[in-house]
Amino acid sequence: MAESQSHAAMESRFLVRESMKRHPGLDLGVRHTCETFLDAAEFAIEFLDEHDPHREGRVGALEIVRESPEPSETVWRYEHDGSRSGHQDGRSIWGFDANAWKGPARAAYPA
């Protein structure tokens, strides 16, 4: 029993926090706590869809923080950037439209 309790104490948990983009130190609170990143990501997307469905900035920033015995770390973050689409243009991040990319024209090595 003691072994399972110590193991449980060592596991990570994930917090979904809402904050203000322009005031990163202003924490609006933990919106959800769960055991897996997948559950946290699902909650975060549902939270955005419910509270800011058109990504107009009603939710300024949302992040998933992994808490564990090591220092906590932010593993995912959404920030409304003020654009009409509510997020940065992928072309400005990667240099191409990742959503429209079809892959290379031909394989590098013939099959």
Reported as a single tens digit per residue, the pLDDT across 12-38 is 899 999 987 666 566 788 999 999 999
**Is the overall model pTM greater than 0.75, yes or no?**
no
Q: Among candidates 75, 49, 46, 48, which has minimal Cα distance to 61?
A: 48
Q: Which two tokens stand for residue 50?
A: 């419910």
pLDDT > 90: percent of the chain: 25
**CA atoms of 77 and 84, how far apart (whole Å):** 19
Q: Among candidates 64, 74, 61, which has minimal Cα distance to 27?
A: 61
Residue extents of the structural domains in the chain? 2-94
Tokens 């220092």 correspond to: 71
